Structure 1
Amino acid sequence: MSHTRAPHVLILPFPLMGHTIPLLDLAHQLSHRGLSVTIHVTADTLPLLSSSPSFQTLFLPIPAAEVANGDSFLATFVGTGSLHDLILQWAKAHESPPSLIVSDFFLGWTRRLAGQLGVPRVVFSPSGALTISLINSLFEHLPKRAGPMDFPGLPGSPTFPWYQLPLLIRDYVEGDPTSEFMRDGMLDNVASWGIIVNSFTRLEGDYLRHLEKNYGSGRVWAVGPLGLGGPSERGGPSSVPVDDVLRWLDGCPDGSVVYICFGSLVELGSDQIEAIAAALELSGVRFLWAYKAHDDGGPKGQVGERGLIIRGWAPQVAILNHRAVGSFLTHCGWNSTLEAITAGVPLLAWPMAADQYFTARLLEESSLLLFHGAAVHNSFSLLKMNNGIMNTLVSDTAMKNRQYKYTIQDDDETITLKTKIVTTTITDILFDEQPLAIYIINNVLEPRELFKVPEVGHLPPPCPGRTAQPRPPPRSQRGSQMMIRPRTQVGQRR
C-alpha cells in the first residue's frame, strides 16, 4: 500500500530576532496542519526553538561577507548568499526534497534557488503590506536624488521625507557590489510566485489589495498576527523572571502602567535614556521599561520605586495583555505593533529607523480613520436633529479619561462637527442607506484629547505597596476591541 508524502516546505528566515520569530510561528502553524517543514537555523537563532519543535531544522552557519564599510548587517545580508550552493546540495540529496520555499524578503536570491529546484518561492514579509509595497516601489523606481519621495501608485499616494526612507535606499550606490546584490534580491521578490504577509485585512486591506493587484500574480496571503500564543520566554533570557513581572503588574491599578520597549536593535544614546528616566521620575507614572541586555547605560533597578526595569528580553505579549498596562511607548517595530493592536493597548509612536516610519504612518492613518467613524447609523436627517456629543469608534477602546468624542451642530443649512481643535462641515453625502452612512467633510478631524496636557496631581503610591489581587484573564480573553480598525471618512455602522 503506497503512502502519499506530505508537501515539504523549506523555510529560510533572515537571522534577526524580529524576522526569525514570526517565521518560527509560521513553521509551527504549517506543521500542525500536516505539512512537513524544515527551517534553517544558525547559532544565534537556534536558542529560539522550543525544546521539542514540531519541524525539522537545517543548521548552516552564515559567514560574514566583507563589505566596504564593515557594517555588520550588510555583512550578514551579503553573507546569506553563500548558502545558495549548500542548500541546493542539501535539497537535491534529501529523500523528500522541498516542494515549496518560503523565505524572508531579505533573501531574494532564493527565488533563483527555487527555480533550480523546480519549486515555487514565496516571499515572507515580517513587516506589513504598506512597507513591502513601498520597498518594492523604491527598488523598481530608484530615487534620482535625495529628497521627499512620492508614491502615487499606492493607496492614498503617501509622501515621505528622505530621512524616513530605509538606509537600504539612502545608501544605495549604483554599481557597488553590495548595493546591486541588495537590489537584485528586492527585484527577485517582485518576481516571486507569491507573498505571505504577517498582517491582517482589517488593518491593511487597501495595501494588501495593492499587493494582490501588482505582485505575486495575485497570490498574497495575510496570515497575521502570528505568534500571539507563543511561549512567554521565547526570544532570550531576561533579568526578571516572567512570574515576577506579572506579579509586579498584579499590584498595579488597571491601565496605570506605561510599558516602554524599543526592540532588540534600536540603540538609544545615554542622553536619551537619561531624559526618559528623568521624565518618568518627574511625572510619577508607573512604568515597566525593557531595554537591550548589552546596553551599558540605562536605568538600574526601580526608578522612583514606581517602575520595573527589565534588562534583556521581555515577555511582551503577556505584558501587553495585562490589565494594568494602559499604554506602550514603542519604536513601531512591526511585531510590537501587531502585539499592541491585538491587545488593545494605545501606542505612543517613536519611530527611529528601517520600516518604523512607514508603520507609524499606518498607525496615524488608521487612528484618524477610527476617530472619523461612529458605531451607530445616523441618516442625514437624523444628524440634523442630533445636536450635541457624538461618540466615535475610539470611545470604546480609549482609556476612561479620554473619551474621544466630537460635537455635532446643525444650523439648518449645514452640519458642523467640532473637536475644539478642528471644525469641519459635511459637504456631501456619499452613501446613506441602513446600516451605513458615509459623508464627505471639508477638513480632517483631530481629537482634542491628543493635544491635551494632563494635569499633574498627587503622585501614585508604588505598585509593590498594593495588595495583589487574583490575576484576571488576559485582556485578549476579555473581549477587548482592537485599538485600530480602519474605516472610511465619517462612516457610521451599526
Structure 2
Amino acid sequence: MECEKRDSKMGKEMRAERLHCLVVPFPTQGHINPMLQFSKRLQHKGINITLAPTLFIFNNTLKGSYTASSSISIHPISDGHDQGGFAAADNKEEYLEAYKEVGSRTLGELIGELKSKGAPVHCVIYDAFMPWVLDVAKRFGLLGGAFFTMSCAVGNICCHVNQGELKLPLMEGSGEISLPGVTPLQPADFPSFISDFGSYPAFLKMLVDQFSNVKNADWIFCNTIYELEEKGVEWAGKQLPLKTIGPTIPSMYADKRLENDKSYGLSMFQPETDICMKWLSERADGSVVYVSFGSMAEVKEEQMEELASGLKASNYPYLWVVRASEEAKLPRNFAAEKGLVVTWCPQLDVLSHDAIGCFVTHCGWNSTLEALSLGVAMVAIPVWTDQSTNAKYVSSVWGTGLRAHPDNEGIVRKGEVERCLREVMEGDQGKKIKRNTTKWKETIRKASDEDGSSDRNINEFIAKLSQS
C-alpha cells in the first residue's frame, strides 16, 4: 500500500514537472512582483515557468540580477516602447494600444518559439490589465488564467462598472452605496477613477476592460486571502472561477516554506539597505514611524509640507522614503532632525523590523498586503487609484489602522497627521489596532502554509491543469 501511495505521488510530480506556464506581467513594479511570487510558488510545486516581461523591464531591472538567482526562464516581448517603457510614456492610452498591437504579435512568436524548442506552453497566466493576452492564448488553443493584482473588493467594483450595475459618474450627494461583494462605501471610498470621474480616463478604461473577456478565462487568480474578503470572494466566485492565492510576498515573511525566498528579486529603484537597517537597529522597539508612498504615487507639494510638519510635531523617530523624483517637494530648509530620509528602502526588511511601530502609507494593495502579513499598524493617506478603497477596509473592516481625514482641499493637515500617529502609537484605539494586526498576521500566514486556503487553491489549479 505504501509503495502504491509513493508511486502515485511520484506520478503526480512527474506530470507536474512537464507542465509549463507562460507568465505575462503588466510592466510596473507593483504588478510584476506579485506575479513573480506566484510564479515561485508554482515552480516550487513542480511547474515550469517562463516569464515574459517587456524588453524595457528586462533590460533595465531583470537582466543580470533576477536571472542570476532564479531558474525561472525569462523571454521578454516588445511593447513598442522598448527605450522608455510604461512609466516614460506621455500618453498612457497610446502606450497601451501600442503594447496590445506589438505585444500580441511578439507574444504569439514566443509561444511558437517555445513549442519549436520542445517546451510547449500549456497555460498562459496574464495580468488582467492586459485582456488581449487571453485572446492570444486562445488563438493558440491554450488555457488561460487572469491574475488580478488588486483586492477582491476593488475587482468586484470594476466588475459592477463593466456590467453597468454601477452607473458613472456617481450622483452628487450620494450617500452610502451598497454593492454585492463590497462593504458599504461612501463616494470618497471608491477608487479615484470612479469617485473623481474623468480624472484618468485611460486608467479607468484599463480597470473596467479587465472584465471584457474574462469569462473566457479558465481560472481567475486574485492576489488576496479568502479569510480577508470572505463575502467578496464568495460573490465573485459565483460569477467566475476565482481562486485566492495570496499573500504574494516572499516566503520568508509568510510561511517560510520556500528556501532562500527572501526578496522579490526585482526593484526599479536602488534601495539604501545598509543605511536603513543600521539606523533602525539603533532605535527602540516599536518607536519608529515608517513613511512610504510606493513606487508610483505622486504626492502634492503642499501635502509633503504638512506631512513633514506632522512628523516633526509628533516627536517620533521616522524613516521616510522620498523617491528622487519627489525630493524637490520637501519643504525648503527641511532637516530630518529625528528621522532619516532615503530615496528607497527594502520595505519588507523595514516592516518586519522590531523598531517599526507604525506605517504611514498610501494604501497601495501590495503595501497593504505586506503590512497585514507582517502585522504592522497603518495610518492610511490614500493618493489615487484603489487606495481609498483599501484604506476603507484597513480602517473599518479589518481594524488594522486609521484613515487620516483630509480637509476640503484634499490635504491631510499637520494636526491630523500628528493625531493619527499619536493614536496608533500610544492611544487606546492603537492598542486595539495592534491586537487586530496580530490576529490577521497569523490568519494570513496560515493561508499560505501547507493546506491553508491559498495553498489548497494553488494545488487545485495544478491538479486541474494536469488533468487538462
TM exceeds 0.5? yes
Q: Deviations over 1:23-69 (max 9, x none)?
A: 1111222122211111112244321452232211111221259x9xx
What does residue 274 of structure 2 align with? 243
Q: 1:91 to 1:239 in 2, by over 3 A?
A: closer
Match of 2:26 in 1: 14
Offset, 1:207: 1.3
Q: Does 1:104 align with 2:127?
A: yes
Letter of the 2:247 counterpart: G
Which residue of structure 2 lines up, in the alignment, with residue 57 of structure 1?
Answer: 74
Query: Does the aligned pair in 2 maintain the 1:273–1:297 contact within 8 Å?
Result: no
Distance across 2 between alignment mates of 1:335 and 1:314: 15
Normalising by structure 1, we get a TM-score of 0.68
- Give matches, 1:5-404, under 5 Å: 6-46=18-58, 47-48=61-62, 50=66, 51-64=68-81, 71-82=90-101, 83-93=103-113, 94=115, 95-141=118-164, 143-147=167-171, 148=174, 152-155=178-181, 158-161=184-187, 164-167=190-193, 170-171=197-198, 184-216=209-241, 219-227=242-250, 229=252, 230-231=262-263, 234-238=266-270, 240=272, 242-299=273-330, 303-311=335-343, 313-368=344-399, 401-404=426-429
User: Share of identical aligned residues, percent?
Assistant: 22
Question: What is the distance in 1 between the residues matched to 2:441 and 2:206?
Answer: 39
| Alpha carbons 2:33, 2:264 under 8 Å: kept | no
Shift of residue 326 of structure 1?
Answer: 0.4
Deviations 1:323-370 (A, max 9, x none): 111001100001100111111111101112111111112212323599
Distance in 1 between residues matched to 2:212 and 2:175, nearest whole Å: 19
**Kept after mapping to 2: 8 A contact 1:80/1:107:** no
Hey, what's the Cα distance between the residues in 2 that align with 1:237 and 1:165? 26
Note the C-alpha offset of 1:157. 5.5
Give the partner amino acid of 1:203.
L
Give the structure 2 partner of residue 392 of structure 1.
none
Larger RCO: 1 or 2 (CA < 8 Å, sep 6+): 2
Following superposition, the deviation at residue 172 of structure 1 comes to 9.8
SS, match of residue 352 in structure 1: coil
- Judge conservation of contact 1:84–1:113 (CA < 8 Å) in 2: yes
TM-score by length of 2: 0.71
Taking the aligned partners of 1:90 and 1:480, their CA distance within structure 2 comes to 45
Q: Matched residue of 1:202: which SS? A: helix
CA distance in 1, matches of 2:370, 2:239: 28
Segments of structure 2 that go 5 or more residues without pairing to the other structure are 1-13, 253-261, 403-422, 445-468
Could you tell me which amino acid in structure 2 is paired with residue 86 of structure 1? T
- Whether contact under 8 Å (2:226, 2:244) holds in the other structure is no
Q: Is the 8 A contact 2:181 2:236 kept in 1?
A: no
Amino acid across the alignment from 2:193? L
Greater shift after overlay, 248-257 or 113-122? 113-122
Is the CA contact (8 Å cut-off) linking 2:162 and 2:208 kept in structure 1? Answer: yes
CA RMSD for the aligned pairs? Answer: 3.8
For residues 368 and 318 of structure 1, the distance between their equivalents in structure 2, rounded to whole angstroms, comes to 23
CA–CA separation in structure 2 for the residues paired with 1:228 and 1:260: 24
Could you report, residue by residue, the CA deviation over 1:145-166 in whole angstroms, capped at 9, with x for unpaired residues? 4434976442356234178434
Aligned-pair CA distance for 1:108: 1.1
Alpha-carbon distance change, 355 to 180 in structure 1, aligned in 2, over 3 angstroms:
closer
For 1:227 and 1:369, the matched residues in 2 are separated by: 21
Whose strand fraction is larger, Structure 1's or Structure 2's?
1
Number of residue-to-residue matches in the alignment: 381
Distance change in 2, residues 1:157/1:35 (3 Å): closer
The one-letter code of the counterpart of 1:126 is T
Distance 1:122 1:43 in 2: 22
- After superposition, the C-alpha distances for 1:214-271 in whole angstroms (9 at most, x for unaligned) are 112xx4233324335332774144363x122111111111111110000111111222
Aligned to 1:437: none
1:186/1:76 CA distance change after superposition, 3 Å: farther
The 8 Å contact of residues 260 and 290 in structure 1, kept in 2 or not, is answered as: yes
Residues 264 and 360 of structure 1: CA distance in aligned 2, closer, same or farther (over 3 Å): same
> In the TM superposition, what is the alpha-carbon distance from 1:127 to its structure 2 partner?
1.1
Q: What letter corresponds to residue 55 of structure 1 in structure 2? A: I
Q: Select the structure of larger CA radius of gyration.
A: 1
Q: Name the amino acid aligned to 1:340.
A: A
